[in-house]
Structure 1
Amino acid sequence: MKFKHVYIVLKKELKDIFRDKKTWIVTILLPALFIPIMMYIVIGGAESISEQKISDIKIAVIDKGNNQKFVNYLKSTGISIITDLQNTKESLEKGDIKAILIIPSDFGKNIEEGKNADLIIQVDMANIKSSNAESMIRGIIKEYSNNIVKERLMAKGIDPKILEPIAVKTENIASQSKMAGSFLAFIVPMLLTLWTATGGIGAAVDLAAGEKERGTLEPLLTTSASRLSIMAGKYLAVTSMALLSAVASLLGLFASFAFNKDMASLNADFKMSVTAIIVMFVTAFFTASMFAALELALSAYAKSFKEGQTYISPVVFIAIIPAYLVMYKMPNEIPLSYFAIPVFGTISIFRELLYGIINMTHISIFVFSSIIYVGISVYLAALMFKQEWALFRV
């Protein structure tokens, strides 16, 4: 293998890749836009649920007795109440109302006589807003119940404070930077890993299977450049595109900070050291290098561009499945073995970095194992380029 030939092939492939407008869209534009769009959807969806106000909740009240005092209390909280609705369950299923509160006929009587009383709340647990409404209604009823208890105790000359002998205060020891990092660590590692692993797919399919279909691979193989040099040049081109995709997704993340007002506070609070940024790039490099070689090997084996896409498509699932398995784990809950497993290690390192953790043991395990995986992947790609039966399958 001659480095001069590798450079010539690399230069030629990159020039061809960047001539194609689809490459700019798939490799750069989509990754750059995907994270901002996902962040907007995730934050917007979370806010629409978390910011649900009492006044936004509409419930149907079925009063089977004369319990106007309790109904008036409900109205005083700001909750929207409908008392004359027909087909309440149908309205609940459609989402027109968020809950149904059934007040038994003996509710008021039992309260006045100092007895316990029952209430029934009907909700649609398949509807998140209906489920949240149930929690809010419970809170209102709890407050009403506490007021009744206090009145009963005061009537007997007992201080209501006796019910709360212990006051609990919660203090958050996490810094604002750590809080911001915990939010980002939930979804960003998955997106970065996904684009790092799949960013070179378009280039890989085109540089081997695509050239077979166009009939341009055979003339290239007849040049003075060895097959290993040709493979190396193509491999570096695919790796470059995968890394470019990862960088584009990072730029998209920074754009989210800059233009999304809901993430502005995260940008102000979240800090990453230069070391963490370097480690993140190294992690992305090894991941891109491994997947680029695998994708090129599969592309070299494929007979056509379409067949190459079919073989390489499952790579997306290889990147996504581990992401979900690691997503809900805190850094201290991630098993040591994960750092030695492809993709698992990438996401685990990303999560630690976003939490502000730089664990040299974990990084060393990841780098050492990644070198082995990259070596195996490159060997498979080189093997495909050496085999006549693979390159010229019919």
Structure 2
Amino acid sequence: MRIVLRKELLDGVRDRRALFSALLYPLLGPLLSGLLFGFMADKQRDAAEVPVPIVGQERAPELVGWLEGHGVELVDAPEDPRAAVSEGEVPFVLSVPEGFGENLARGTPAQLELIVDGSRNDSRAAVGHIQRLLEYYGHDIASRRLLARGIDPEVVRPVVVAQVEVASEQELAASVFAFVPMFVLMATFIGGMQLAVDATAGERERGSLEPLLLNPVPRSAIVVGKWLAAVVFALGCVILTLLCCVFVLEYTPVRDLGLSLDLTALALVGVLLAAAPMALMASALQILVASFARSFKEAQTYISLLVFVPMVPALIGMMTGLERTIGALLIPGVGQQIVVERVFGGEAVGALDFVLPMLSAIAVAAACVWLTAWMFRRESVVFGR
């Protein structure tokens, strides 16, 4: 077992495809997500600094003064506002129609026109910012009108809803950064995938599996050695993914969104303990599935479908949430997702939360390894190229 493990690890380190899959995913996934959140933070921060092109400033001097008093920079609008917005020269144009001041003085609704292009995603943050400012301006005018008539503005607010947030900042941040648990659990399936394929279907295709099985050693020892080599690569991918996620959350502008996910060393250890049984199960499944394939490419096709095992619970957890029950914790993949989400959210996690998913994952892994060893005793599997 030790000899096979050492041999497969050495071959895996020399195999560029195995290293590429084990290193590219943990680097690419978190970094792309960090760039996305950083881009969103930059857009949100820059939205308040976008100059407001306005048509007809002279028709609304009070509005102009109110906007400038709130730190808004006003500029002259282009000659053709609609074409300028459509071509992306400006994100929007605020137009003050004729009669705006008269309607405002009479107390009748005064209309403003905000020329936007809803198909341009890069201008949505700036458009949303100016819309909120204009709404505040309208509320301010309404309050002053009521006060001028001796009416408390609170009269028009018969019901006030005060939202009481019971979730901690860590839990709120974890709900937004739900991609982190998904990346970690998917790493268990991606890290050792190439090595598992090459150690089974690849060797059978090259004809090196037959002389290996001629050695007077138990088939289980050979299978376990190959399986543990894939586990080592999977765990390495998980650790690297965790480190990249920590880097993204710590050194990218995601904190500008008002969110902070503090990952302590204890939390990282808890995530690793929850993901380790998943790596055992994932590598065992890949070894088993690849044993059915007659070529390397065929095995890759089969194994690529296994990525849905951690992806489906992760997507369900991101959209609707996963309820923590004994039955859910016993489902391989689902239990690990629940535990990792709770650890990232800073919630209390008991020993039972770790033990139940671990037992189910180890049981599946043991069954897959035993079945693979049994298949290696069949001539139709070993010689069926």
| TM-score category, normalised to shorter length | 0.7 to 0.9
Structure 1 position 366, deviation (Å): 1.8
1:346 equivalent in alignment to 2:346: no
In 2 relative to 1, CA 249–149 (structure 1 residues): closer, same or farther, beyond 3 Å? closer
Q: Which AA in structure 2 matches 1:18?
A: V
Structure 1 position 320, deviation (Å): 2.5
Secondary structure at 2:126 match in 1: helix
Structure 1 position 224, deviation (Å): 0.7
Q: 1:209 aligns with which of 186, 190, 201?
A: 201
Q: Does the CA contact (< 8 Å) of 1:75 and 1:81 recur in 2?
A: no
Q: Does the CA contact (< 8 Å) of 2:38 and 2:252 recur in 1?
A: no
Q: Which shifted more, 311-320 or 290-299?
A: 311-320
Deviations 1:55-85 (A, max 9, x none): 31544x455x962425634762424444343
Structure 1 position 279, deviation (Å): 4.2
Query: What is the distance in 1 between the residues matched to 2:55 and 2:346?
Result: 53
Query: 2:290 maps to which residue?
Result: 299
In 2 relative to 1, CA 380–154 (structure 1 residues): closer, same or farther, beyond 3 Å? same
Deviations 1:205-254 (A, max 9, x none): 11112212222111101111132221121111112211121122223334
1:42 equivalent in alignment to 2:36: yes
Q: Does the CA contact (< 8 Å) of 2:47 and 2:129 recur in 1?
A: no
Query: 1:12 maps to which residue?
Result: 7
Query: 2:277 maps to which residue?
Result: 286
Query: 1:355 maps to which residue?
Result: 345
Two-structure CA RMSD over aligned residues (Å): 3.5
Q: Which AA in structure 1 matches 2:297?
A: K
Q: Which runs of 5+ in 2 are unaligned?
A: none
Q: Which shifted more, 88-97 or 156-165?
A: 156-165
Query: 2:88 maps to which residue?
Result: 95
Q: Does the CA contact (< 8 Å) of 1:235 and 1:292 recur in 2?
A: yes
Q: 1:244 aligns with which of 215, 228, 236?
A: 236
In 2 relative to 1, CA 197–120 (structure 1 residues): closer, same or farther, beyond 3 Å? same
Q: Which AA in structure 2 matches 1:234?
A: K
Deviations 1:178-218 (A, max 9, x none): 5555555x221011111112211110111112212222111
Q: Does the CA contact (< 8 Å) of 1:104 and 1:119 recur in 2?
A: yes
Query: What is the distance in 2 between the residues matched to 1:111 and 1:153?
Result: 14
Q: TM-score scaled to structure 2, two decimals?
A: 0.83
Q: TM-score scaled to structure 1, two decimals?
A: 0.81
Q: Which AA in structure 1 matches 2:131?
A: R
Secondary structure at 1:121 match in 2: strand
After TM superposition, list the pairs within 5 Å mapping 1:253-264 onto structure 2.
253-256=245-248, 260=252
Q: Which runs of 5+ in 1 are unaligned?
A: 1-5
Q: Does the CA contact (< 8 Å) of 2:213 and 2:219 recur in 1?
A: yes
Secondary structure at 2:114 match in 1: strand
Query: What is the distance in 1 between the residues matched to 2:97 and 2:250?
Result: 54
After TM superposition, list the pairs within 5 Å mapping 1:80-119 onto structure 2.
80-86=74-80, 88-119=81-112
Q: Which shifted more, 153-162 or 355-364?
A: 153-162
Q: Does the CA contact (< 8 Å) of 1:257 and 1:266 recur in 2?
A: no
Q: Which AA in structure 2 matches 1:244?
A: G
Secondary structure at 1:55 match in 2: coil
Q: 2:18 aligns with which of 20, 23, 28?
A: 23
Q: Identical aligned pairs, as a percentage?
A: 29
Query: 2:304 maps to which residue?
Result: 313
After TM superposition, list the pairs within 5 Å mapping 1:143-154 onto structure 2.
143-154=136-147
Q: Which AA in structure 2 matches 1:51?
A: R
Q: Does the CA contact (< 8 Å) of 1:294 and 1:380 recur in 2?
A: no
Deviations 1:141-195 (A, max 9, x none): 23332443344345445566776799998787665655555555x2210111111
In 2 relative to 1, CA 269–348 (structure 1 residues): closer, same or farther, beyond 3 Å? closer
After TM superposition, list the pairs within 5 Å mapping 1:218-237 onto structure 2.
218-237=210-229
What is the total number of aligned residue pairs between the two structures? 381
